[in-house]
Amino acid sequence: MNEKELIAQLFKTEYRKIISVLCKLFGIVHIEIAEDITNDTFLLASETWGLKGIPENPTAWLYTVAKNKTKDYFKQHKTFSEKIVFDIKQNQNLSEEVEVDLSHKNITDSQLQMIFTICNPIIPAEAQIGLALRILCGFGIDEIAEAFLTNKETINKRLFRAKEKLRTENIKIELPTENDVNSRLETVLTTLYLLFNEGYHSSTQKTHLRKELCLEAMRLNYFLIENKTTNKPIVNALMALMCFHASRFEARTNQIGEPILYDQQDKNLWNEELIAKGNFYLIQSASGNELSKYHLEANIAYWHSSKLENPKKWDNILQAYNQLLLIEYSPITALNRTYALAQVKGKQTAIIEAEKLNIADNHYYFSLLGYLYTDIDDAKAIWYFEMAQQKAKTDNDKSLLNKKLDDLKKKNNS
């Protein structure tokens, strides 16, 4: 591995650790100073390592530089240091000099606290995801912009506003109390869930970037599982869900990034290891009394990840969708539930229920009715698929619908 690759890799793993420790030390008010010092540290690494070669212990090298840069910063900025040193001494009874504590324990604690700080309901979900990508995943502004299909300026503004909000509200970098952990954890999990979905369903064609988003969500989720405070059944349920979905990564797009529908996927490309992990976390999640939407979604994903045809499969999926809708309504869940209903009780029954749904602004609704009417009333099916095509937004969706229409028309002409 050359030094560029090594730095890129260390950036992914060490950036979040250093910045979390520094933020924790300075307070969220000075998050930008923490960012600057961390960025400078990596900049120095890329300058020095290129010339002098890679040091024996690159991580330790980064930590030493970060420590020294912090000391330098204190020396150069008298007022800042007086204020900070005063605050720190007040809080921690430290001796003369401020020491950056990059021990394993402090790194882990600081990171966990940073997750809770960033995933704070006072800032909008989109900004939480952006900040998480920036601070906890070491993503560049351009990468975040690409993931959100927007420009760098928008992302910069969004992140600036979010940091400003954390600053003015003077959010403490700390763990929630025992009583608050569950409700605060819910916000954290929502952010991770959205981050994962951003990668899984994003319309950007860059498959590599999309995968990275999903992997980051899984990494952060795994971090919560590793910590005793946050290793709750619901966290394991979300992890199981992500593992099952991620297992189909290689199978769900072709070489040029076009989606391949579930039915047409090459099951040999499904990742067995991730399916096994999904099963493991699903079992871990099955304790306690809570049946969260992540439990139900993981349960559905479990049935979809099974290669064997089980006669009970669709029964179980339908029941999980019923329960999911009772917890939280969403149009997509309603459509998926109706598809499952068709598998269990037949298309006729499903048509009656589908027509009650009234989700006319969604092309998937018309697409579903097109599917349900296929072989029952092909003329109607064609009409619905054509409606879906008018409403579809992406080229991928349009071309999938085109294919369906072609097949149907061919069938009816022959």
Partner 1 sequence: MIFRSEINESFGPTPEQMQGNIQHWMDWMGGIAAQGKMASGNRLSFEGKILKPNNVIADGPYAEVKEIIGGYIVVKAINIDEAMTLAEGCPILSHGGNVEVRSIVAVNS
Tell me which residues touch partner 1 (CB under 8 A).
315, 318-319, 321-323, 325-326, 329, 331, 333-334, 337-338, 341, 345, 353, 356-358
How distant is the alpha carbon of residue 210 from its chain centre? 10
User: Which residue number, 171 or 324, has a Cβ lying nearer to partner 1?
Assistant: 324
The contacts found for 390-393 with CB under 8 angstroms, 24 or more apart, are 390/363, 391/361, 391/362, 391/363, 391/366, 392/363, 393/363
Report the distance separating Cα 301 and Cα 278, nearest Å.
Answer: 9
Whole-number minimum distance, CB 240 to partner 1, in Å? 22
- Count Cβ atoms below 10 Å from residue 279 Cβ, excluding itself: 17
Q: Min. distance of Cβ 330 from partner 1 in angstroms?
A: 9
Closest distance between partner 1 and the C-beta of residue 308, in Å?
A: 22
- Residue 312 sits at the vertex; the CA angle it makes with 306 and 317, to the nearest 5 degrees, is 70
Q: Is 119 helix (H, G, I), strand (E, B) or coil?
A: coil
CB of 185 or CB of 342, closer to partner 1:
342
Q: Which is nearer to partner 1, 45 or 340 (CB)?
A: 340
Residue 48 Cα distances to 72, 117, 125, angstroms:
18, 33, 38
Question: What distance in Å separates the CA atoms of residue 76 and residue 94, rounded to the nearest whole number?
Answer: 21
CB of 318 to partner 1, least distance (A): 7
- Residue 29 or 359 having the CB closest to partner 1: 359
Closest distance to partner 1 from the beta carbon of 124 (Å)? 24
The answer to whether 385 and 364 have CB atoms below 8 angstroms apart is: no
For partner 1, which is the closer residue by CB, 163 or 295?
295
Q: Give one DSSP letter per residue of 298-358, joined into a string.
A: HHHHHHHT--S--TTHHHHHHHHHHHHHHH---HHHHHHHHHHHHHHH-HHHHHHHHHTT-
What amino acid occupies position 223? F
Cβ proximity to partner 1: between 284 and 349 the closer is 349
Sign of CA dihedral 271, 273, 277, 283: positive
Q: What sign results for the dihedral spanned by CA atoms 263, 191, 146, 367?
A: positive
Which of 270/365 has CB closer to partner 1? 365
Cβ 342 to partner 1 shortest distance, Å: 13
C-beta of 323: minimal distance to partner 1 in Å?
Answer: 7
- Least distance to partner 1, CB of residue 359, Å: 9
d(C-alpha 401, C-alpha 385), whole Å = 7
Which is closer to partner 1, CB of 237 or CB of 334? 334
Q: Is 119 exposed, middle or buried (0-12, 13-18, 19+ CB in 10 A)?
A: buried
* Least separation in angstroms between CB 335 and partner 1: 8
Nearer to partner 1, 323 or 396 (CB): 323
